Amino acid sequence: MINLEKEIREQPSVLAGICEKNCETAQKIVDAAKAAGIKNIYFAARGTSDHACIYAQYLFGIFCGIPCTLGTPSVFTKYGAHVDLSGHLVIGVSQSGKAEDVIEVLKSAKKDGAMTVAITNVEDSPIVDVADYSLFCGAGPEVSIAATKTFTSQMYLLAALVAKWCGCDKLKAELKALPENAQKFLDTMPAEIEKLAEKYQNIPGATILGRGMSYPIALEGALKMLETNKIKMKGYPISDFHHGPIAQIHTGDLVFVLAPAGKVEDDCQEIIRKLHGVEADIVVLTDDADAVFEGCTKVVLPYTGSEFTSVFMQVMFFQMLACKMTIVRGIDPDVAGVINKVTITK
């Protein structure tokens, strides 16, 4: 079994260990933030970690009513500007803990008296030395170039922080059940995904569409396919796709639509109708077994309780699809050419 698939299959155990490792620190972060009257959150991240932060933006907004900014580290590092982050909670997310530009954002924020948190998979990394508090993925070494278990563990840490902040018992219960649902996915979905990989192994590219909670998964899913299979993929929010980008879709083009049960189902049906108008090849990912998507290939994912956690099943789908496609295409996903496992930007 290749490293990529091994690490995808480690996710149930990784997710199961996160709370015990981080529960006490997460509570301290929430208590300190509330005591300080924090009303704004600023995220600093790159690449895959950016996508985890976009997920957190939605959660903090929906459950806590807290506006979140996805930071621009080059403002600090390349332009030498000062952004006043006083009164903010500043969260730096870096799987390796070595992202120099993310670390510079935390350093600047600390000078402003901001509260700082690091999320990383490496406990003795430089980012930990800078932050007031640190949360750890506990995913163990990730050898494959494509981030899989570190990404979902970042998402889980951020969601757990939101659950503590807002005190939502339903979200807490869904997170507690996620390891079991991740294992259910691995027990039931790979054979179906392998058939899709065989069917679409020669595609030149594809598009992934999601709205709300699924938007960052559209971005991450495209990245996983691109970096492992060298296929041109792009993720879009459904709301923006109506405003121009749909013009790139032609007859037979492959489009994945992320359609979880919840608030965005109607938006998914609307874009599917438009995609039928240009005769696109549509694959719909849903956790609603009863939903009807006429003229589409429907993939039913395990139901996790809400769209707030169904995204974990969606991203595991694209991780596994990327993995299975490398196998049928004869590609080694651990040899990526110009891509490095740890990328340092300044």
Res 306 pLDDT > 70: yes
Q: What confidence category does residue 338 fall into, taking pLDDT thresholds of 50, 70 and 90?
A: very low
What is the DSSP annotation of 215-264? Answer: HHHHHHHHHHHHHHH--EEEEEEHHHHTTTGGGG--TT-EEEEE--SSTT
Give the bridge partners for 209, in sequence order.
Answer: 236, 257
Cα separation of 217 and 317, whole Å? 10
Res 345 pLDDT > 80: no
Q: Residue 35, Cβ neighbours under 10 Å: how many?
A: 9
| Residue 141: per-residue pLDDT | 92
Region 61-85: mean pLDDT is: 96
> Of residues 333 and 75, which shows the higher confidence score?
75
In what helix (H) or strand (E) does residue 84 lie, and over which residues does it extend? Answer: none
Six-digit token string for 154: 């970042």
Q: What confidence category does residue 33 fall into, taking pLDDT thresholds of 50, 70 and 90?
A: very high
Res 175 pLDDT > 60: yes
pLDDT in tens, 179-191: 999 999 999 999 9
Task: Name every residue whose Cβ is closer than 8 Å to that of residue 246 and which is 6 or more positions away in sequence.
Answer: 271, 274, 275, 278
> Of residues 283 and 342, which shows the higher confidence score?
283
pLDDT in tens, 159-173: 999 999 999 999 999
Give the bridge partners for 234, in sequence order.
Answer: 207
Q: What is the pTM of this model?
A: 0.95
Whether the CB-CB separation of 98 and 342 falls below 8 Å is answered with: yes
C-alpha R_g of the chain: 20
Alpha-carbon distances, residue 110 vs 91, 93, 105, 324 (angstroms): 11, 16, 9, 44
Residues in the chain: 346
Cα separation of 217 and 209, whole Å? 9
Cα separation of 211 and 247, whole Å? 19
Cα separation of 7 and 237, whole Å? 28
Region 201-220: mean pLDDT is: 97
Cα separation of 25 and 106, whole Å? 18
| Residue 2: per-residue pLDDT | 87
Q: Residue 279, Cβ neighbours under 10 Å: how many?
A: 13
Region 18-34: mean pLDDT is: 97
Strand order in the sheet with 88-93: 68-70, 40-44, 88-93, 115-120, 133-136
